[in-house]
A and B are shown apart, each in its own frame.
Chain A
Amino acid sequence: MKSNKINSIMGMAFFGPALVLLTLFLFLPMLLTVIFSFTDFFALNPDLTHFVGLKNYSDIFKDELFTTAFWNTVKFVLIIVPAQTLGALGLALLINKATVCKKYFKVAFFIPVVMSLAVVSNLWMQIYSPEGILNTMLAQIGIEAQPFIYSAEQALPSIAIMSVWQGVGYQMIIFLGGLQAINPALYEAAEMDHASAWQQFKDITLPELKPLCVFVFITVTIGAFRMIVQPMVMTGGGPSHSTYTLVYDIYETGTVNWEIGLASAMAVIFVIFVIILTIIQSVLTKDKEAKSNAKK
């Protein structure tokens, strides 16, 4: 009895500081976001706040800028997710097979990951510039100068490619960890059966990596949906809103236009979306584990 009481007090003493901060800066903001999303709260005039029901939510889907931002974000996701997931898997497979300089390769492909979004964005603004190094290199192989981030058509893919360049090393390391965790006995058995390299990949590597593939796929997707700093620094969302993203819209609506009600509704939709993706991921990986347990 006494030790129960001690445990409660000790538990709260240890967990308390974190709990206070969590409440102030996570629970409360989350709760307020949901509440504000049903109001027309305007931060410059908080006294005139009314309950407006679902009006913000219906307004969002009529809002042209939000729709643009949504489709831009989808385009980012459609470029970044396949390129980054497959790129990371490919690099990990190659590096795992390499015999020398393994360490160098890991470092080389990981360096952009530790660089900041602002640094990478500033660097690639120079690289993408009309008279920049990339256009000079293209000229060497006979391709005419491209506008890259200065045209509405090319800005989004240019930023997407840069983001893949920066991020791919992270998932590569995750895949390498997964590859090293595969039991080598599986490959030895396959060698005895004279299985080809492709068969080994298809029947051992891929099934063993499947939960990790799902994890990487979903985390890259969520990451791509969170795109904001790169367009903010490089293009300010332009040209003509071609790189304006969902999170950028939430940010501008909230902290530039001060329409907290509207921004909150956008944030709620965004979080629900992220939660759905996370649930899909856990269902897909759970399914896999259940099967592999059944086999044992």
Chain B
Amino acid sequence: MPNPDNDLLRKALAKAVAGLTGSGRLDVVEVAADGVTSFKIMRDDHGVPRGRRWHTPWSDLAQDREALLRAADVDPDDDTVLVCSSPGSSRADQAFEWLRATRPDAPTLRVDDSIAALVTEVLGADPLTRSYDLVVLRPRTDGTLELATVPLFPVQARPGATTTMTLHCERGGPNGTAFAVVTWQGHDPLLLSVQSAALPPGSYEITAELRRPGRVRFSGLPTLSGDPRGWAELIAEVPARLPSRATGPGHLICAIEVCGAEPKVAERVGRARQVVSTLSNLPGLSVSVVAYGAHSFDRSVKDHRVEVRAWRVDVSTAQSVLDELEERGPITQGYPYHPHAAQLEDMLAAVDRGLAGDPASPVALLTIGDRPPHPPKIDNSRVLPCPSRHDWRAVVAHLEQSRNVVFGAVVDYQVGDKLPRVWQLLGSAALANFDALDIRGLTSGLGLTSDAVPVPFPLIDVE
């Protein structure tokens, strides 16, 4: 049967705790049979009420008023509640009177039992003064990721409240996927708790339960454990893009610029070989090798045609073709071949022709080169027009829209340089620097392999 005195005290304490704002403090002093117990309660940065408790036995107080007041440590600016849990004891009554005289404004209550458990109960039942959100990542349409939050519990939510949501999890790295709960200080998130687990990639229906202020439990997942990472560490692990997943065995076309200096041509072929070798364990992959050079602009020297050296061959055959290509070296070099542009537009047209007769399958075009294409007609670039008047922009758009080609490129560029539009398009799915080739990133960007980049938070709005 509930004790009416305890109910009164619970309500009084709950009201006093609810009234705590900002840096305000609540002092609760219990005069008990064995001494004086003080509780100092204040809210932390998340609005969670936290209490500190200390006990001073009668033996240390020696019936001394000043000693009692020092032990109770009642601050004149703090809200105060005075409780006597040992009524009838002359020592306790005396002490209680001294305290009442010191803070005549404070509510006073008399109960039969120690109040420590009741204070804990009141703090655990305090409704939220800040909303709680879960940190997630949201993919944008271009594949990049933005940090977002999902609301868990609003202000005034009480322990026992639940929220259920469906989240997607990718591989989360060594610490697993972090379920980070934040409150807000203005527009800035403040990390309340982080729990993590290594989860198999996939979708999860997750229920978050508010256990008490400051404590959220997630169910629908393997057991989560505490994660020592701070906010900065977690944010630092967020990748720029949503990791790509392999689209399955398809068709990789390696288009290689084979004009210019011999060492550079050899390096380009070498980069193609590196990529192809990485994919040697990919069953069912077919590879094509296309070589293109520079146009001749002297009527006495016949223009070289783009060479389709191999079309839809296996990895082993492609490697042999690349060996031959490297051995042969540049096909066009010096005058009268154009020194600053290449037959990129003719290569694209040749790829388009080749794909026209192929069965539909995922196609990745990896272009390894540097020079720009020739425009279909004179433009501001002053690069001479393509003799066949191929329009590289139109062919790229056609390959993308009608042949479902994804584009990757290995280009010699300096980070920070403005990349020419053609290479932005030809590297739209995967762009690698010639001198710092990330093969894994390249192949995953092209959809040939899965991405190894960990994603530290759950994802929402994943199609």
Do A and B actually bind?
Answer: no
